Amino acid sequence: MNAPHDESPFKGKTGLTRVWNALNYSLAGLRAAYACEDAFRQEVWLALVLVPLAFFLPVAGVERALMVGSILLVLVVELLNSAVEAAVDRVSLEHHRLAKRAKDIGSAAVLIALINVALVWGCVLL
């Protein structure tokens, strides 16, 4: 069995170095998604409105957590969808039914996350 450092030069990092590197990679990913992905940028702006709003509404703590969590879930799913799209495009820009399927499924996941926001917020507020 190969040691982790044989697979990737980044796998051998441990402790605070690993945590620091992971934080930097994550921040770079957020910056790239915000700069390059219109949908992510729109959802960030939606989150910047809805998350503070959830803290001003007179709802219980669990309800507030569900409201905020549903918004954060949209951002997570959009990041994963964008990663799938970038990886598919990296492999090939030619039209292929499997590439289309992968992108469509990622898009469907985002749609379901957005429907979840509407349902959670609707259930809490109505």
43-50 long-range contacts, CB within 8 A, separation 24+: 43/74, 43/75, 43/78, 44/75, 46/71, 46/74, 47/71, 47/72, 47/74, 47/75, 50/117, 50/121
Residues annotated as catalytic (active site), given as ranges: 78
| 60 membership: H or E segment, kind and range | none
Phi-psi region of 15 (alpha: psi -120 to 50; beta: other; left: phi over 0): left
